[in-house]
Chain A
Amino acid sequence: MNAKSADKIATVVIYMISGIVALILIAMLAFILIRGVPNLSWHFLTSPARAFEAGGGIGIQLFNSFYLLILAMLISFPIALGAAIYLNEYSKKGRFTTIVRTAIEILSSLPSVVVGLFGFLIFVVQFHFGFSILSGAIALTFFNLPLLTRSIETSLAQIPNLQREAGSALGLSRWETVIHIILPAAVPSIVTGVVLSAGRVFGEAAALIYTAGQSAPALNFTDWNPFNISSPLNPMRPAETLAVHIWKINSEGIMPDANAVSAGASAVLIIVVLLFNLSARKIGAQLYKKLTSA
């Protein structure tokens, strides 16, 4: 067989393999959306779940998912940003840097159910946080931290060294250069990374089952005082999220329309995650355009 026909065969095979990957995704999306979308309605998206009768919604779970996501991001972003700045701008080769890098790598490879169980033992039991938004947000932080750190570090590393040299040649300290020159230039790519990781966190279930809990007590959406137990903002209340809800209905749901609720909830979950993923690059590109040509 000559080089030319070998190349042709390789091209066809590689095309087919990539096609199969795309096909799997499309098939899954189509299956979930076709089954789920017909069940969606304003009522479904806004009303509370029902345990024993048909007609329940996912309103509270949807709210919980977003609230947990925001809290987890609020906790994990500053830590990840600090760690990434250290790793990319300050660290020198040495034992400490190696330890930090290894820790991040191991943390990122921990199964999320293990992170969840750890959160359960430490925060839920030991610290008496109970099944709560707070416990869940901390568990999600552990889950999210290594990936977010790495993504921010990559964003910083993409800023050419020329910019750092420019800063120091103008008599700016390393800190001034990082804060005022490197970070602003990296914002578009950091934002893309944050939104992508938000999509991952939004769909996470295993880390939350034992931390944020599997129940969604009724919320009073007119009470925004975070110290009241029925307030949506109360961080100490148990909060079943959308992903946990799907898992729960499928394992022990006894409502007559369990299949429909599960299909609808799955469709919502997938749509939100897709929105995160698709918007991530768009937002990043828009920000970049704004920063570079304004």
Chain B
Amino acid sequence: MVNNIDLKPASEFITENKPERYIYDVGAGDHEIAISTKNLQVSYGQNLALSEGDLSFERYKITSLVGASGSGKSTFLRSLNRMNDSVATVKGNIMYRGVDINTKAIDVYEMRRHIGMVFQRPNPFAKSIYNNITFALTQRGQYTKQELDEIVETSLKQAALWDQVKDELDKSALALSGGQAQRLVIARALALKPDILLLDEPSSALDPISSAQVEDTLLKLKNQYTIIIVTHNMQQAARISDYTAFFHMGKVIEYDLTRKIFTRPKVELTNDYISGNFG
């Protein structure tokens, strides 16, 4: 028994064999790719926030982006639908449906209707619940009242909020609780029928119960949407995502199936992070 204390941890024996980076090639199998990035570089002024971000995301799966604060994961996410355009310089290619959407020729407003985004803090408009959902729709297209009613009902049901608000759709959205507001914001994004849903720490400002509701919602949405989510919560990443990408100091260190990352990470640094040694 005494001998056990002298035993070195198993990981020390195989350190040499461990790679410094590992990126699973999603495209190699017969997986359908929803969006992918190549040579993505994001800099704020002189500071390079993200230097290597080559990832492909499988369609109808949930991918978590994890990493410490300042690791570049949010920067990466916000670049995907070009929310960083006004504050940062984004170089490289973002391929979506065979088109590089990181070019001047792209109509970003139209593109963002395909690639929706939900933020850390719920941000409903100072409008009624109903108008929060229909506003962006009616700005662009012609809808009958009946069509709008249907869209409102469907998207609220998808976001698991319908039962709680169906009788007060004309009430101000600002009166909703944090968890309800966040699900309204998700419903608002879904109403545009996007292809991809980007979520930037969508439950970190919520209490555990609301957070669990948001997670359930995301799992239900998986059948119809490709979801990419930034999270600080390791359990959340392990619970809901199919793939996980670990970011560190502006680089993707490891990208693999979630179950592999959380059981047998190939890179030492990933192991350190998910076991809570830093971060």
- Chain A residues engaging chain B, CB cutoff 8 angstroms: 160, 162-163, 165-166, 168-173, 176, 180-181, 184-185, 291-294
- Chain A residue numbers with a CB within 8 Å of B72 are none
Give complex CA distance A171, B114 in Å.
9
Please tell me the number of chain B residues within 8 Å of chain A, measured between CB atoms: 31
Contact of A170 among B127, B172, B175, B192 (CB under 8 A): B192
A162 adjacent to B136 (CB under 8 Å): no
Residues of B188-207 contacting chain A, CB below 8 A = 188-189, 192
Given contacts A170-B113, A170-B116, A294-B171, contact A162 B123 (CB under 8 A): yes
Given contacts A170-B113, A170-B136, contact A294 B128 (CB under 8 A): yes
Asked if B12 lies at the interface with its beta carbon under 8 angstroms from chain A, I say no
Give complex CA distance A281, B263 in Å.
59
- Chain A residue numbers with a CB within 8 Å of B188 are 170
**What number of residue pairs across chains A and B have CB atoms under 8 A from each other?**
70
Contact of A165 among B83, B126, B192 (CB under 8 A): B83
Give complex CA distance A291, B128 in Å.
9
B203 CB to nearest chain A CB (Å) = 16
What 10 A-B pairs come out closest when comparing CB atoms? A162-B123, A170-B136, A169-B117, A171-B112, A171-B113, A185-B126, A166-B123, A292-B174, A171-B109, A292-B172
Classify the interface of chain B: helix, strand, loop or mixed.
mixed
- Chain A residue numbers with a CB within 8 Å of B174 are 292-293
Looking across the interface, which residue of chain A has its beta carbon closest to that of B198? A169
A172 CB to nearest chain B CB (Å) = 6
A19 CB to nearest chain B CB (Å) = 38
- Chain A residue numbers with a CB within 8 Å of B192 are 170-171
Give complex CA distance A172, B139 in Å.
8
Looking across the interface, which residue of chain B has its beta carbon closest to that of A163? B123
B119 adjacent to A165 (CB under 8 Å): yes
B126 adjacent to A184 (CB under 8 Å): yes
B195 CB to nearest chain A CB (Å) = 13
- Chain B residue numbers with a CB within 8 Å of A168 are 83, 109, 112
B260 CB to nearest chain A CB (Å) = 32
B185 adjacent to A166 (CB under 8 Å): yes
Residues of B114-140 contacting chain A, CB below 8 A = 116-119, 121, 123-128, 135-136, 139-140
A192 CB to nearest chain B CB (Å) = 16
B172 adjacent to A165 (CB under 8 Å): no
- Chain A residue numbers with a CB within 8 Å of B171 are 293-294
A169-B81, A171-B111, A292-B174 are known contacts; what are 18 more A-B pairs with Cβ within 8 Å?
Answer: A162-B123, A163-B125, A165-B83, A166-B119, A169-B112, A169-B116, A170-B112, A170-B116, A170-B192, A173-B109, A176-B139, A181-B125, A291-B126, A291-B172, A293-B175, A294-B128, A294-B170, A294-B172
Given contacts A165-B119, A166-B185, A169-B117, contact A292 B112 (CB under 8 A): no
Looking across the interface, which residue of chain A has its beta carbon closest to that of B81? A169
Given contacts A292-B172, A294-B171, contact A172 B109 (CB under 8 A): yes
Interface string of B174-193 (1 = CB under 8 A from A): 11000000000100110010
B121 adjacent to A162 (CB under 8 Å): yes
- Chain B residue numbers with a CB within 8 Å of A294 are 128, 170-172
Contact of A185 among B109, B125, B128, B139 (CB under 8 A): B125
Give complex CA distance A34, B128 in Å.
49
Give complex CA distance A180, B140 in Å.
13
- Chain A residue numbers with a CB within 8 Å of B112 are 168-171
Asked if B163 lies at the interface with its beta carbon under 8 angstroms from chain A, I say no
- Chain A residue numbers with a CB within 8 Å of B167 are none
A172 adjacent to B136 (CB under 8 Å): yes
Asked if B110 lies at the interface with its beta carbon under 8 angstroms from chain A, I say yes
A127 CB to nearest chain B CB (Å) = 43
Give complex CA distance A185, B111 in Å.
26
A167 CB to nearest chain B CB (Å) = 8
